[in-house]
Each structure stands twice: as C-alpha cells, then as structure tokens.
A and B are shown apart, each in its own frame.
Chain A
C-alpha cells in the first residue's frame, strides 16, 4: 500500500511500515520535553540504535513543545533522527502547536541539508490527536512548505497500519 504525489520536485509518499526500521536519511521521533526516549518508538530506537541516541539527548538540556533537535541514529538503518517535541493529550492549542512542530521539522531538516525525511502520524495514537486532524495538519503544512521550497527530494509519511493510513489517503487526494 503506497501512494505518491509530486509537489514542486519533491515526491511525497504515503506508506505503511515501521518508521524505526527502514533506510532513510532522517526520520521524525515524536519526543517528550525531558528528551527521554522511553517506550514505543523510543524503545525501538534504543533496541535497534543502541545507547548512543539517548546519550546524545542526555547532553542536551531538555526541550519545550514545538522544539526540534537532531541526533545521529546509532546502529539503525536510518542515518539521523529528528526529535520533534509535539503537543500531547488534548493540551491547549494543540492544533496550532502541532502545525508549528511540523513546520519546525521541515525547517530544521532543510537547514541540516537532508533531502529525504520520514514522518510518523504525528501525535496520533498514544498522544491522542485524532487521526483526521493529524492527517490534515500534517499534509496542509507539508504541502504549503513544499510549494515555497524545493530543497527536499522525498518526504515519506510512514504510518503504522491501515487504520492510520485511511485518513491520510483522504487528505492526499485533496493535495494539489
């Protein structure tokens, strides 16, 4: 299950898979303010990437919502991890914060010179952002960014399962 869309020289690809287990220049990890990798994808990063990633994060002084930081990816198939501290659990102004976080990821990745990045369904699932909102905010912000910037070659949205895939397909179809 894969669909693609071309936006200003960048291929935007939607697919199902494990974001912590594939070859990509950088992928986004939905981080917490204490920058502890913790469970879920964080657990997978530790298991597959080794202790180096957490060690690099420990040297930073925490972060606040909307901040974006980049580390190496240790022994993972990816080269870099973009740690994006997004909003969680129905917190105030959650949609604005999510939009800002997505834009900050794109800007930071661009500043680092990355050509290919992968996003999960940002804040959906454990952190409770409803999937339709997540899909709309992510694709709106990615497409508007790409309309003005031509740096990226490929942006991948790699979601967990069909349940996450479906709302993104609806939003994909509305992309110009």
Chain B
C-alpha cells in the first residue's frame, strides 16, 4: 500500500491532468534551469539569497507533480527528473504560499526565457487547482465570492452602482453647467457600451465622470449597462476558469442584449486582458462585437478630431508605467504613449519599459492578500527605483490594479509622486467647444444676469459641525462657513465629534475620514445608527479617496456628500448649499 493521500491532494492531482494543454506541457517539460528567469523577477531581485523566490524553483513545485503523475520520465527515472507527489493538506498550504505569495504572474520571466517557458501560465493553473479544493488566501476567497454572487469583484450592489452613476451625472451637469449631459444606462442600439472596474464606483468615481465628459464632447452614442458592467475578472488572478468564463459571459450577454456595437473597456490591465483576450476561451464564447480599450477610444477621438485637447493644461512632468497585462500579455504599449504625448507637455520615459517594465506588484489582484503585503512591498524596491529615476511628479498607468499597487509602494518608499490615469489627463486637457462655452462667457461678462450666486450670509441659522484633525482645515472650513453666516462647531477627533454631534445636533457634519482615535467611518456609523441623529446630513471629506471604503463597507445609508481634499472655498460652499438645499 502506498502512502496515504488526503482527499484534497487526490482531487488536485485528478484535476491536474484535465487542465494540461500543449502550452503548459511544453512549459513544464522545457525548463533547463539556466537561471535566466531569475534576473527578470522582482521578487528575486529583492531576495537574492533566497532560492525559493526563483521562478524555476517556484515552477518546480508544480513540475515535480507533472513529472510524477503525467510525464513518462517520472515513471522511468523519477529520481533523475525530481518527480514527487503531494500527499497532505499542509503541502497544499505550502504550495499556496508559493503560487499566490511569491509571484504576481507578471510574466516578465516568461518573456525572458530562452526556452519559452511560460511560468505565469502554469502558476495560474496551480492556483486554479488549489482554489478548486478551497485552498486559497482569505482575500482571494472574498473577492471570488463577491464576483461570483454579486457580479463584481468589490461587492458593489446594483443600487449603489446606479446611485453612483446618477451622482456623477449630477456632478458633471453642475461642473459644466450643461443640464443635458448624461450618463445613459441600458440605452439600446448604442455604438459604445462602456464597462468599468468596480474600484471606480467604490473609490474613484471621478474616472466615470471624466469618461462621460469625454464621450459627451465626442458626440458618442454610448451607454453603461445596469448589469454585467464589471470588466474585471478575478478568474484571471485566481486561476478559476469557470469564474473567468462566467464573468465574461455576463458582460458579453449584456452588451448583446443592448445591441451594442462595441464594448469599450476602461483603463484596467487585467480587465482588458481577460475581457478581450481570455474570457472568450474560458467561457467558450463567440463574441459578436468589437472590443477595445478606452485608451484606443480616446486616441481615436483625438485623431478623428471628435475632441480637442490642449496639452498645456497638463504641464507637470509625467512618466508612464506599463501594466503587465496590457503590455506583456496584450501588446498595448504604443497607444498609451501616443495618447500621452497628445495631452501632456513633459513626458519622461521610465526604464526599462514596455514589455520589459517591472511589475507594480499589484499583480492583477495581489493586493487582496494582506498576508503577503510585506513581501510584496519588499519586492517593489526595483519599481520604486525606476519611478524615482524619472523625476516625474505623476506616474500614469492604464490599469486600476497598478494605480493601487503604485500608490501603495509610493507611500512605502516615500516617493514624491502621485498616480493618475489617461482618462484623468485627457479630461483635464479637453477643450470645451465654443458653442458650449458661450453661455458661460455671458455669465462672466454680465454677472447680474447670470445665475444668481448664493449670497453671503445665506447659511445664517445653520449649525455645522466641522470635524478634522488638521488645524488648518478646521480654521479654513470654519472661516468660510462663518463668513457665510453659519454657526460652526469644531471637533478635532472622532470621540470629540461624537460628543459634539450629540450635544449640538447640527444641521450638517463635514467629516474627515482619517483621524486619530475613532476614524471618520466609525463616527459616520455612530451617527447613522443613532435614532435621534440618523437623519443628520453628513459630508465626507478626505484626501485619500481609497479610504471611502471606510464608509462603503458599513451597512448603513450612504452620506449626503463627498469632498476630496484639497477643497477650495467655492467647492465647499457649493456642496454645503446643495446638501442643505440653500440657494
């Protein structure tokens, strides 16, 4: 009798044979352990003395199973080809730490392998084998389940998604003073169906508004779908082909249902790769319409003169980070540069770049696994050095995972740099057509006839609690609001805010999120859950939009407004007046 094997290990081996294809078998068979891959891997560069980070070592963890159970060499000369089996759940856990925690599947080693071994592809397969028996990091389980059951990776409910689109539409109408600018939902027979990353809804809705602005001025006949709108696909990261196919199918079926002519995918590396290139295969789907990245769409609008841009509106030095999925896996690297050069004045290339660029370490989903964060950030050293050498103030990337990965490493390595995307730069560089600008010009020249500006003092009788731990912000907000007649109460931390809101019962709370003690999210939840205070309007103020999750993750009704720092006087007053329905 052989060594006993756990049920999960048995199932992994059973599925291994079913998942093999020619590409994977070639990769498993062809490695000659030359070591070329090692110098390509950001994990190895950060851990040069630890052989367990070498791509060939990581590959061997799966290769030994292939040799033992599939390849003839493992049956004849197992000791020579290092064929080994797997027996226990503990060994599966160890394999999990290798395939999820020591590789971002960036494919930099793959393109530098003289034998053509695609390590990332079978690393992904190994992830899929483990996921099929429930062995995966907690974060991977959470994101996968949200995408399976709610339909998007971040568990955004349909009503919240639609509310956000409506909110962005209102913001846009107000900002541009164009009442008929729309974010259409489920409009039939459009030329463009626009799909997005749920991160945009949850943490960065301005990218939706900015895309809408571009579509509007391009005169595009476009829509967003009410369902099947998430173009990201966690199946690419987790290795779960069933999830990959199911997510792609939802997106394609909705586009077909709307009779859309083209599916445009917003800036996201793994979203673009999975939606355009991989999901049709995972789901065995024949997609009957064109798919393109929004980078191509924006570039085409400029080339076809559908929109005009003024690059002098973006004068800070920028550099460009190629997303691994876009550049290495899909060949999308010249188009973003062409677009970038049309909308900025000072573009500094990063080296190496294009297919040789280093991973942001976000790895198409790696940030969902907090247990590996220290290792991930350590491996980001080479990326930080690349960024620093450019001297740029902004790093531009066409990928939402990269936005988060880069933001994280910029903070960790204390770089003086911000992350942005092409949609932000194109929207900022847009030249608003004259016919639209005309009414605004009139307003400036004849202020009396313009929409009556709210009068100073119109907040008289309103009690506003300003909560912020930064004394300068407290003073600025208080001065502006008091100058306009409001009675202002101040609180500089979460506990004081709760005390003041109880005592004073203000008409509005402006609430900073990131504070010592109780953070803004806890204060917000307290207000919403207190029967007496639940209806108090709250305007969230934050310099870090990603912290909005502190609000979204709470099972209470959303706040009445959001403000991103830095906040100027006009924006503050406009939002306060809107929430209080003044003027």
Contact = CB atoms under 8 A, between A and B. Distances in A.
- Decide whether A and B assemble into one complex: yes
B134 interface: yes
A46 interface: yes
- Which of B144, B150, B158 is most buried by chain A, counting CB atoms within 10 A of its CB? B150
A125 B134 contact: no
- Which of A49, A126, A162 is most buried by chain B, counting CB atoms within 10 A of its CB? A126
B155 A90 contact: no
A159 to B, nearest CB: 11
A18 interface: yes
B145 A161 contact: no
B253 interface: yes
Interface string B349-367: 0000000000000000000
A92 interface: yes
Nearest to B245: A163
Given A125-B149, A126-B145, A43 B249 contact: no
A48 B160 CA distance: 11
Contacts of B253: 161-162
A18 B158 contact: yes
Interface residues of A, number: 27
A56 interface: no
Given A89-B133, A90-B11, A91-B7, A126 B555 contact: no
Interface string A52-86: 00000000000000000000000000000000000
A44 B152 CA distance: 12
A35 to B, nearest CB: 16
A164 to B, nearest CB: 8
Interface residues of B, number: 27
- Interface residues of B, dominant DSSP: helix
B134 A88 contact: yes
A39 interface: yes
Contacts of A40: 145-146, 148-150, 155
Interface in B438-467: none
Contacts of B134: 88-89
Given A40-B150, A90-B11, A163-B246, A48 B157 contact: yes
Contact of B149 (A44, A48, A51, A91): A44
A51 B242 CA distance: 32
A39 B158 contact: no
Nearest to A18: B158
B141 A39 contact: yes
A82 B50 CA distance: 50
Interface string B92-135: 00000000000000000000000000000000000000001110
Nearest to A125: B148
B145 A44 contact: no
B242 to A, nearest CB: 7
Interface in A7-25: 18, 21
A43 B148 contact: no
A128 B8 CA distance: 14
A47 B157 contact: yes
B548 interface: no
B537 interface: no
Contact of A39 (B142, B157, B242, B250): B142
Interface in B1-15: 7-8, 11
Contacts of A48: 157
Nearest to A19: B149
Interface in A32-47: 38-44, 46-47
Nearest to B135: A89
B269 interface: no
A162 B149 contact: no
Contact of A90 (B132, B141, B143): B132
Given A38-B145, A50-B555, A160-B149, A44 B249 contact: no
Given A21-B158, A89-B132, A90-B132, A162 B7 contact: no
A113 B132 CA distance: 37
Contacts of B243: 125-126
A40 B156 CA distance: 10
B151 interface: yes
A108 B149 CA distance: 24
Interface in B146-199: 146, 148-151, 155, 157-158
Given A48-B157, A89-B133, A161-B246, A126 B149 contact: yes
Nearest to B14: A90
B555 A47 contact: yes
- Which of A21, A39, A91 is most buried by chain B, counting CB atoms within 10 A of its CB? A39
Contacts of A49: 555
A54 to B, nearest CB: 9
A43 B158 CA distance: 13
A29 B158 CA distance: 19
Contacts of A92: 7
A80 to B, nearest CB: 19
A39 B555 contact: no
Contacts of B8: 89-90
B282 to A, nearest CB: 12
Interface string B496-531: 000000000000000000000000000000000000
**Pairs A-B, 4 closest by C-beta atoms:** A40-B149, A89-B134, A40-B145, A39-B145
11 contacts: A18-B158, A39-B145, A40-B155, A43-B155, A47-B155, A89-B132, A89-B134, A91-B7, A125-B149, A162-B253, A163-B249
Interface of B: 7-8, 11, 132-134, 141-146, 148-151, 155, 157-158, 242-243, 245-246, 249-250, 253, 555
